Structure 1
Amino acid sequence: MTPQDDYALSRVPEKARYGWGWVALQQFGQISDLITFSTGVILGTGLSFWGAFWALTLGSVVLELVAVFVGIAGCREGLSTSVLTRWTGFGRYGSALLGLIISVSLIGWFGIQNGVFALGMNSLAPWLDVWVWSLITGLVITVLVLYGFRAMRWIAIVAVPAFQIVIAYSMITEFTGVDVGSLFSSGPLGETMTIAAGATLVAGSYMAGATIMPDMNRFNRKPSDVVKQSVLSITLGQYVMGLIGVLLAYAVKGEDAVAILTTTVGVVGVITLVAAVVKINDWNLYSSSLGITNAIDTLTGIKVNRVWVTLVIGIAGTILSAVGILDRFVDFLMILGVTLPPIAGIVVAEYYLVKRWRPALDESRQRGVLPATEPTLVPVTLVIWAVSAWFGWWSEREALGIGSLNSLLLAGLLYLIAGKVGLVKAISEVPVAEDKTGKEEACESVST
């Protein structure tokens, strides 16, 4: 197996795609992680069981709808999120800006979660300092991501079942001798929250991931596979895992998700937490590399191999993680995260309703290439994006519904209106330089 560009700037050909089970395992691994479990624990802290149930239901349904519609577009076109947005409302330079924002956000979280990874390893092997472990763990993940989707599925094969086993063991350990029925009538453990606030927490925990699903779903063979795996992954990963977190919070009367797992399963729990961090962090780095590769191409016309981009940003994120500087930028990264949900609203509105550039995608898809031309910039899209992101942030602050959903719906509605009145126009159209790398890789790929 050799490092792969993974069709960073081209369509994924049919022969390089995978059966839905392989892609579903990756998506399930992204969702059924420590963040989802922690979300459940937080819901148990602030809501009754049935309040948490409805919060998880509402949040999960929102995520499933976003993941399905955006994911189907990615599957049909075989394009990464940042490349797809060139023809779904943003244009050449808008997609570059989008790719940079996604990349900075994800590489930031890569570094922060790498710090969590390093702390876990330090607790197992304290003779090495945390900063040393940060360097080791960051570089290990970087090397794995160099090999692309094919290698990352093997990480999922190990990490996903391991995390589920530890969660199951925690349940058995904590529920033994406990009246489980009484847990269903338990009330909040601490300061209460509303169901709407809980649903916001659930939807917000994975909205960024749902928005960039084309990065993963472009490897699916057909749209029905996207529907199956999204519903299955979010239902079992987000919904069931969240409810388990709620019940465990009631059982141990604790608010710290990491403490709940490590105290119930000890060293094995730490090892599995490390594996869970790896499973989400490889995708942080992978999607970041796709966004940077697209940005370099659109801004300079230079087609850089994704492998080299991964190496550079992986090393950069690792070093920043080792020196501990990224923890100071969590608020900044949270602000960047607010800009992601409106992207999904615009993509869905353009691809399924307005269809300004859909004919070009449909025609070129039949030939397995990119459209001959692309819009340079669509000014109204940038205005809608900015306004919707601000509205999402404001409504979140004022506790008016689900902030991420508000921004997504507003972006989609405004774009649809703009399309109906003829405001969705590009400044100009320019030729697209064909990427030869994808064709060369297709000759080496073997679908599974």
Structure 2
Amino acid sequence: MPEENARAAGRLWQAIDDNSLTPVPEEERKSGWYLSWLPAGIATSLLQLTIAGTITALVGSVLGLVAGALVGVFVMALGWLFGNIARVEGLSSTVLPRFYGLGLRGSAISSLAFGVMIIGLLASENVVLYHGTLFAFGWPDSTGNRVLIYGLLTLVWVLLSMFGIKMVTRTSSVLVVVFLCLLAYMTFRIYGESPVTLADAFTQASTSVVGSEEARFFTVVGMLGGQGGALILVNADYARYARGKGAVGGVSLTGVIMLDIVGIALGILVLTGGNKLVGDHLVASGQATPETAVAAAGALATHNTGAYFVILSGVLGFALMYVAQTKVQVLNVYSGALALSNLCYVLSGRHPNRLVMILVANAICLLMIAAGVFEKLSGFLSVLGIVIIGFIALAIADFYLVSRWRPRPPGVEVVNWAGVGTLAFASVVAYLLAETGVFPFGFVASTVIVLVVYPLVRLRFGPRPGAEEPAEAVAAR
């Protein structure tokens, strides 16, 4: 009996760990169809609709879709290249930089950047859910309600995230369909009950008066670029399970289409098209006047998307939205825990229990909510996107370019100083170029700088003899 209990505990730990620091075995590889539900789940969320509402307010519907398409092409190219490295090595997106670009200790940079990014998105989704819940029940924003709602949300995410990619995939595939069906019902109601037409929604002009149109467009592209960097890394966490290049391509393409095209289009359909009905509801319930109805509806579209579900689909629709939203939060926790697992290992040398990392990720999420990350989301995505896209480009340069002239050593460097130095240089220069307006697309600048500078520096100065750790470093591989 004790032996059976020990074996059961071992199987449970293995399911929870989910190859967090080790290569995915061949027998666990999946098809592209199976894996593509995961990025679809990430992209169909309340936060993505909120971002779509912000994009439309800043640049209008047409330019919003143009920005999404442009960024999508860029993200698709980098995502396929990086995802294929994950497939070949079988490693998660934050473990890969140990071997390509940053070295063992240097990969703490990539884990920290991605961990902060993905947990920040987790926190922002929780904030949107919280405000939607308050709107649905008419509750005030109080300390007691914050403890209750955020506490329950955290508990659900922990429980659903414990059992790795199998549970995540099962959750995502069903709930993507639920979410899309709910949006279809809301769209049918919007265009059946209001004088708004599809043409009106998709030609909506900007409603923002802050900054020039050019500056607002640059803000939107920077926001989407940072979000795209997170998508590339999340997709790589799934692509490590892929059986072939075609599956990697399917995962990357699905993520880009759903995030940068479908997500924005759904936001335009529901948020822009639904403004009239939402405004009428706010006036009828005494929450706005006829003169302020449009502005009040616009504020909900950019800060409280859940309210649209309450108004346009009733209590049942709100409940279905809540259930459907679990898919993206489970996926965010999943990737956040993977990033923290690598960060813990490279700093301490110990393989952490992923359950502990799930708990830590949710604890950090609560701290970020308290720090107001949602209110700083645009700048948060743009700045971190520069660093994240930079180390993605490092891995691509190392795998596809440098390895052609200099095979990678059998061990693992403690720190790849050529990569760390190039990433620091590219990130600072790209940030300064964006901030000064010389070249506003920081994530593009960091990519170009890395792809040009890193191969030259790496082939000239590294790796140094004796810089590898063949024993303990390769053990985690």
> Structure 2 counterpart of 1:74, which letter?
A
Rounded to whole Å, the distance in 1 between the matches of 2:452 and 2:258 is 31
Match for residue 52 of structure 2 among 40, 44, 51: 40
Which residue among 265, 269, 290 is the counterpart of 2:313? 265
Which residue matches 2:4?
A: none
**Equivalent residue number for residue 305 of structure 1:** 353
Distance 1:318 1:47, change over 3 A: closer
Question: What amino acid is aligned across from residue 257 of structure 2 in structure 1?
Answer: T
**Cα deviation, residue 108, structure 1:** 4.2
Instruction: Give 1:81 shift.
Output: 1.5
Q: 1:222 to 1:131 in 2, by over 3 A?
A: same
Query: Structure 1 pair 102/48, CA: closer, same or farther in 2 (3 Å)?
Result: closer
Equivalent residues in 2 for 1:142-291, closer than 5 Å: 142-176=158-192, 177-191=195-209, 193-194=213-214, 195-253=217-275, 254-255=297-298, 256-257=300-301, 258=305, 259-291=307-339
In the TM superposition, what are the counterparts of 1:374-389 in structure 2 within 5 Å?
374-389=412-427
- What is the CA–CA distance in structure 2 between the aligned matches of 1:338 and 1:436, rounded to whole Å? 31
Residues 192-219 of structure 1, C-alpha deviations (whole Å, 9 max, x = no match): 6335544333333332221343222111
Distance in 1 (CA, whole Å) between partners of 2:204 and 2:373 is 37
Are 1:59 and 1:199, in contact at CA under 8 Å, matched by a contact in 2? yes
Alignment match, 2:396: 348
Give the deviation of 1:71 after TM superposition.
Answer: 0.9
How many angstroms does 1:48 deviate by? Answer: 4.6
Letter in 2 for 1:207: G
- Which residue pairs with 1:132 in the alignment? 148
CA contact 1:189–1:250 (8 Å) conserved in 2: no
Mapped partners of 2:349, 2:91: distance in 1 = 18
**Structure 1 287/249 Cα, relative in aligned 2: closer, same or farther at 3 Å?**
closer
Q: Note the residue ranges of structure 1 that are not aligned, 5 or more in a row.
A: 361-370, 439-448
**Which one-letter code corresponds to 1:70 in the other structure?**
F
Q: Is the contact made by 2:119 and 2:365 (CA closer than 8 Å) also made in structure 1?
A: no
2:64 counterpart letter in structure 1? A
| Partner Cα separation in structure 1 for residue 253 and residue 231 of structure 2 | 14
1:423 Cα offset (Å): 2.8
Question: Would you say the 8 A contact 2:197–2:273 is kept in 1?
Answer: no
- Quote the residue 1:79 is aligned against: 91
In structure 1, the partner of 2:286 is: none
| Offset, 1:78 | 0.6
**1:12 match:** 24
Per-residue CA deviation, residues 33-84 of structure 1 (Å, 9 max, x unaligned), is: 2333233323322335433332221011112112211111111111012221
* Residue 283 of structure 1, CA deviation: 2.6
Q: Which residue of 1 aligns with 2:432?
A: 394
SS of 2:94's partner is helix
Q: Percent identity?
A: 22
- Per-residue CA deviations over 1:317-359 (Å, capped at 9, x if unaligned) read 36547xx523269659555454212111111111111127985
- SS across alignment from 2:213: coil
CA shift in 2, pair 1:320/1:54, >3 Å: closer
Pair 1:230–1:108, CA change in 2 (3 A)? closer
Residues 200, 403 of structure 1: 8 Å contact kept: yes
Structure showing greater radius of gyration is 2
Whether 1:407 aligns to 2:446 is yes
Assess if the C-alpha contact under 8 Å between 2:47 and 2:128 holds in 1.
Answer: no
Q: 1:14 to 1:413 in 2, by over 3 A?
A: same
Indicate the residue corresponding to 1:441 in structure 2: none
Cα 1:358–1:108, aligned 2, differ >3 Å: closer, same or farther? farther
What is the distance in 1 between the residues matched to 2:135 and 2:351?
Answer: 42
Q: 2:364 aligned with 1:317, yes or no?
A: yes
Using the alignment, how far apart are the partners of 1:159 and 1:45 within structure 2? 28
Q: What is the CA RMSD across the aligned residues, in angstroms? A: 3.1
CA contact (8 A) 1:45 1:188 kept: yes
Letter in 1 for 2:44: S
Q: What is the CA deviation profile of residues 236-287 of structure 1, one whole-angstrom value per residue up to 9, with x for unaligned ones?
A: 4420221232344543455343144443223344334434543222233222
The answer on 1:423 being equivalent to 2:461 is: yes
Where 1:410 maps in the other structure, the secondary structure is: helix
Paired letter, 2:46: L
Unpaired stretches in structure 2, ≥5 consecutive residues: 1-10, 276-296
Q: Is 2:118 aligned against 1:106?
A: yes
Deviation, 1:377, is: 0.8
Partner of 1:326: 371
CA contact (8 A) 1:45 1:249 kept: no
Greater alpha carbon shift after TM alignment, 6-15 vs 168-177: 168-177
Q: CA deviation at 1:96?
A: 2.5
After superposition, the Cα gap between the structure-2 partners of 1:302 and 1:120, relative to the gap in structure 1 and judged at 3 Å, is same
